[in-house]
Amino acid sequence: MRFGVNYTPSCGWFHAWLRPDWDSVQRDLDDIGALGLDHIRIFPLWPVLQPNRTMINPSALDDIRRMVDLAGRRGLDVYVDVLQGHLSSFDFLPSWLVTWHRRNMFTDPQAVAAEAELVAAVYGSLDDLPNFKGLTLGNECNQFAEEHHPAAMSVTPEQAGDWIDSLLAPVRQEAAGSGRVLLHSENDAVWYEDGHCFNPRHAAGKGDITAIHSWVFNGTAQRYGARSEIAARHAEYLVELARAFSPDPDRPIWLQEIGAPGNVIEAGDEADFCEATVRHAAGCRGLYGITWWCSHDVASGMGDFPPFEHHLGLFDEGRRLKPIGRVFASLAKEDGRGDDASPDPRTTAIVIPCDDAGVPTKRSACAPGGSLFDRWMDLSQEGGRPTFVTSIDAADPAVMAKRKIDRLVRVEARSGDAYGAVSDPSLLHQAVV
């Protein structure tokens, strides 16, 4: 299992990509390398990479390559996101997609072709670097399709799947046999929000790995308490929920984002939350890795962030290691699981009612406050190790045997009232509870 961090430059945040301060970048990478972590995930900005639909900025590609190379010299592997996209409440869309040139990034043929060209260009610029380990199409691009987004781009589930396939296709052959992974990422609406155009079958069936982004300000901490066992198990829960929708029960699952947000977690509790969360999640079979959000705090002088976004780092604004950083480094050294390095299979599964396409008929029942969420948490707190299975798979004895499930738990699927999508602005400024 891999342990790493989402890299936020200490100087200039992600705006650093406009003109990287390489001395500062190298100091940041020294910080991360000293923790004993094995990888970083980086976020070059889409408007800098592709300022015009028919122009990819060669100097921006050079900057990505230089950062990957510098990380490699410090023993760090690198995963690169391409379409940034959405970061910490800010959107970074190129001008050829907005206002007078408005296009739908998911369905406009010329836009999709340009995005696929950029994916290929980023991959090609790094192909010979041994510590380049894979691409994510972008950071939570599904939020651009959410109804509450101020400039939502409508897309059907079929079109969403086609978009993922179209962007992965140009590099699929190059990546084959390389050991690199190609994937996409969504916020938790893909698992929890009824009718959301990106669905669990997309998340768990397309690409090489399923990406999980776990944030407890989605209603979990507010409803159950930030110090509760339920909040500490949210990431573990998402891993097991995601597993149910993969055709292969051994498909790797990457906890690609997990953090301790200060709008719901009290100052001083971050390290305890980190330790409890990581230990619970690390006990899941087949977890590819845990990548903490984030490496360095956002400078206090940077304006218009939700306040908690300034303090999510393992290092503070002065690049001093915080208690949460020491805890995460310690967990990385012991692989997160301590003596429990080979967890037993989970043989009890809660059945998720699904339609003929394998999509939950009521995703909101899986969300915080929903009946399936609560039943899984109840079983876990009673000392069980539950997982999930779709109603389609539950009817197939061969699949149940392959998944090593010998007990099914059926619960009436009822929605709750706790959940809010992680990109919902109404959640970003809530007071600590």
- The total of structural domains in the chain comes to 1
Residue 345's Cβ-side half-sphere holds a number of Cα atoms within 13 Å equal to 13
The answer to whether the predicted template modeling score (pTM) of the entire model surpasses 0.85 is yes
In a domain? residue 372? no
Band of pLDDT at residue 431, cut at 50, 70 and 90:
very low
pLDDT given at position 429? 52
CA 419 to chain centre: 18
Evaluate whether residue 76 is within a structural domain.
yes
User: What's the Cα-to-Cα distance from 196 to each of 23, 202, 247, 300, 411, rounded to whole Å?
Assistant: 43, 11, 21, 35, 22
Bridge-partner residues for 5, per DSSP? 40, 292
- The answer as to whether 217 is a domain residue is yes
Torsion of CA 399, 405, 409, 412, to 10 degrees: -30
In whole angstroms, give the CA distance from residue 52 to residue 54: 5
Provide the residue range defining the domain that includes 49: 2-333
Q: Is 62 helix (H, G, I), strand (E, B) or coil?
A: helix
Asked if the structure places residue 409 within a domain, the reply is no
Residue 21 lies in a domain: yes
In order of 76, 213, 241, 353, 417, the CA distances from 371 in angstroms are 42, 21, 14, 12, 11
Chain centroid to Cα 99, Å, comes to 29
Nearest of 163, 147, 240 to residue 196 by alpha carbon: 147
**pLDDT reading at 84 higher than 50:** yes
Q: Looking at the domain assignment, is residue 430 inside a domain?
A: no
Name 265's Cβ contacts closer than 8 Å, sequence gap at least 6: 216, 221, 226, 273, 432
Does residue 259 fall inside a structural domain? yes
Counting runs of H as helices and runs of E as strands, what totals does the chain give? Answer: 16, 13
Question: What pLDDT, on the 0 to 100 scale, is given for residue 13?
Answer: 97
Tell me the average pLDDT across 84-89. Answer: 91
Beta-carbon contacts of 396 under 8 Å, excluding residues fewer than 6 positions away, are: none
Give residues with Cβ within 8 angstroms of 184, minimum separation 6.
136, 137, 138, 141, 164, 167, 168, 202, 203, 206, 207, 211
Instruction: Return the closest-CA partner of residue 345 out of 253, 283, 422.
Output: 283
Q: Residue 279: inside a domain, yes or no?
A: yes
Q: Which helix (H) or strand (E) holds 91?
A: strand 90-91
Confidence of residue 427 (pLDDT cuts 50, 70, 90): low
Instruction: List, for residues 106-129, the tens digit of each pLDDT value.
Output: 999 999 999 999 999 999 999 999
Instruction: Give 148-164 pLDDT, tens digit per residue.
Output: 899 999 999 999 999 99
Evaluate the CA torsion angle 415, 416, 417, 420 in order and state its sign: negative
Instruction: Render 252-312 in DSSP notation, one character per residue.
Output: -EEEEEE---TTTS-TT-HHHHHHHHHHHHHTSTTEEEEEEE-SBPPPTTS-S--GGGGG-
Mean pLDDT of 54-73: 98
Cα–Cα distance for residue pair 224/151, rounded to 1 Å:
33
Q: Which two tokens stand for residue 68?
A: 């990957």
CATH number of the domain that residue 228 is part of? 3.20.20.80
What is the C-alpha to C-alpha distance for residues 261 and 196, in angstroms, rounded to an integer? 25
Q: Is the pLDDT of residue 338 over 60?
A: no
Cβ neighbour number for residue 355 with a 10 Å cutoff: 11
